[in-house]
Amino acid sequence: MQNFETVEVTTDLLILGGGMAACGAAVEASYWAKKRGLKVTLVDKAAMDRSGAVAMGLSALNMYVGVGEGDNTPEQYVDYVRNDLMGITREDLVYDIARHVDSTVHLFEKWGLPIWKDENGKYVHEGRWQLMINGESYKVIVAEAAKNAMKAAGGEIFERVFVVEPLMDGDRVAGAVGFSVRENKFYVFKAKAVLVAMGGAVHVFRPRSVGEGLGRSWYPPFNTGSSAYFTMKAGAEMTCQEVRFIPVRFKDAYGPVGAWFLLFKSRATNALGGDYMVERRDELEKWAPYGLVKPIPANLRNWLGMLDMREGKGPIYMRTEEAIQNIAQSAGDEKAAKKKLKELEAEAWEDFLDMTISQAILWAAQNIKPEERGSEIFACEPYFIGSHSGASGAWVSGPEDVAPPEYFWGYNRMATVKGLFCAGDAAGASSHKFSDGSHCEGRIAAKAAIAFIVDNPDQPKVDPKQVEALKERILKPLALYEQHKDLSDNPDINPNY
């Protein structure tokens, strides 16, 4: 086996991940680290420009409270999340993001993200909490800001390095080890604090996609459970593993439905034309008080559709043609209606081209015109994430000013392991932060991590024997191959294959 060079990197704060939460952490950590003369290092298994759940782009920012405009309050957002998760939420964590997320959105706009505005210069809302954007390059814009901040603060970025295991010094995290996916290099990162933002877990359950689309999922397949593995191996307490996210998406290509339901005001009906949200309204009373709130919790909306499917009334269709015609007809005269129809068609296609190109390709390949006929939607397989309507992740400390005593142990977003901070999909029990909320939570966690480092300036000890044992274990598949490959690579002949 070719020798793997061991590369040692010593830093103050180690940020693991390159998605939205990690980019937020990089921006905030760089600001405070520069003031304190500290070093920040970020490690991403991909390339930051197109890394994480937003890699393909998005057509909306799903969390904007609008405090400055007087639209809503953080308390109202907490109410919304509590109802949608049917009471299973850490309100202190949700409130903390809700009171800061607007500033993150304003940063995005400052960095160049095109946010839709009406003729009066106000943001165009998809729904109460959502803003429409031209977001194909959303992640590129956010990553550029993170890289610029790191450069200005003298930070270091490692891309194409897959972090695997934590390094521990007793009950305190001391760093991490990983390997390059492009070179024969084994990395040892030593740090005073580690911020975990490596996404959720996909493909735990078999995707609903079949045939040529087999393996296609809504959440990125590259979210391989690294956050959960790392935090658990470090000894952190976890929470809400049973609160998985099962989104409804367009069948086969997993196109998003949010714009259709919220912006276009579309209905979903069964194969008989029945609207299960109307026909099964009595079912919601069984789930009071949450079944009686507005908006109806996502899991209950899914449940009503599943009941129709169980009774053989499927498939379920998104009535795109009905929604487009209704909006076009409201424009007034025939000429205005035709113009509006063209605008809606363009927006419908752009929704997919911004964030789920595969759905646009599928529509084009099958000659599907959304203004002429509806398309089938279905409930996806479950995902373990902490950022959308899922809540799985590490149990973390809340903000000192609003968290009850039992939810606070010194530093905001620190797990139950000293020096280990979590954000985005890695932080549990705080759903509905989405992309911009995850970026905001990364900022919150990074600021707290820098405070921890200032209060605990000693470099944790890393046992060389621990490092060597991890290196041997990580590279064992390669060693096993080299040892037995000459016999045969046929699994029927070689028992070591």
Q: Could you tell me how many residues make up the chain?
A: 497
Contact 223, 55 (CB under 8 A): no
Q: Which residues of 98-121 are buried (b: 16+ CB within 10 A; e: fewer)?
A: bbbbbebbebbbeeebebbeeeee
Closest CA to 44 of 187, 149, 171: 187
Please indicate whether residue 72 is annotated as part of the active site.
Answer: no
Please indicate whether residue 182 is annotated as part of the active site.
Answer: no
Q: For 263-416, where are the E strands, in sequence order?
A: 268-269, 316-318, 375-379, 393-394
Please identify which of the residues 82, 99, 249, 267 carries the catalytic annotation. 249
Please indicate whether residue 218 is annotated as part of the active site.
Answer: yes
Contact 195, 49 (CB under 8 A): no
Pairing mode, strands 40-44 and 238-239: unpaired
Q: Where are the alpha helices (DSSP H) in 87-137?
A: 91-98, 101-111
Please identify which of the residues 44, 102, 351, 381 carries the catalytic annotation. 351
Closest CA to 188 of 169, 175, 207: 175
Please indicate whether residue 62 is annotated as part of the active site.
Answer: yes
Largest CA distance in the chain: 78
Residue 433 identity (one-letter amino acid): K
Tell me how far apart the alpha carbons of residues 257 and 60 are, in angstroms, rounded to a whole number: 12
Please identify which of the residues 126, 354, 381, 441 carries the catalytic annotation. 126
Please indicate whether residue 358 is annotated as part of the active site.
Answer: no
Please identify which of the residues 435, 436, 438, 443 carries the catalytic annotation. 435
Pairing mode, strands 185-190 and 268-269: unpaired
Please identify which of the residues 59, 62, 226, 227 carries the catalytic annotation. 62
Please identify which of the residues 28, 44, 125, 218 carries the catalytic annotation. 218
In the chain, DSSP finds a helix count (H) and a strand count (E) of 16, 17
The DSSP H or E segment spanning 5 is strand 5-10
Active site amino acids: 62, 126, 218, 249, 351, 388, 435
